[in-house]
Amino acid sequence: MAIFSKRNVSGATPLDGVEALFADLDGVVYAGPGAIPFAVDSLNAVAADMRVGYITNNASRTDESVASHLRELGLACTASDIVTSPQAAMGILREVAPAGSTILVVGGEGLISEVTKAGFVVTDSAHDSPAAVIQGFSPDIGWTHLAEASFALNARSDAHPDGIPWISTNMDWTIPVERGTAPGNGTLVSAVHLAAGRMPVVAGKPETAIFDEARNRFDVTRALYVGDRLDTDILGANRAHMSSALVLTGIDGPKQVLAAPEGQRPEFILGDLRELLLPYPETLVSKKGAVTVGTATARIATNDVDIVVEDAGDGLDLLRATCQLIWRSGRAIYGFTVPEQAYTPIR
Is 228 catalytic? The answer is: no
70 CB neighbour count, 10 Å cutoff: 22
Q: Label residue 129 exposed, middle or buried (CB < 10 Å: 0-12, 13-18, 19+).
A: middle
Strand partners, 83: 55
Please identify which of the residues 16, 24, 63, 317 carries the catalytic annotation: 24
Is 162 catalytic? The answer is: no
Strand locations in the chain (E): 20-23, 30-31, 34-35, 51-56, 82-84, 102-106, 121-123, 132-135, 166-168, 174-177, 180-183, 201-202, 223-227, 243-247, 268-270, 283-285, 291-293, 296-300, 307-311
Residue 334 to residues 173, 255, 307, 317, Cα–Cα distance (Å): 24, 12, 12, 22
Please identify which of the residues 16, 26, 63, 314 carries the catalytic annotation: 26
Alpha helix stretches (DSSP H) within the chain: 39-47, 63-73, 85-96, 109-117, 143-154, 185-196, 209-218, 235-239, 254-258, 315-329
In 3D, which of 138, 146, 216 has the Cα closest to residue 184? Answer: 138
CA 320, CA 8: separation in Å to the nearest integer? 13
CA 266, CA 328: separation in Å to the nearest integer? 13
Are 52 and 83 in contact by the 8 Å Cβ rule? The answer is no
State the catalytic residues: 24, 26
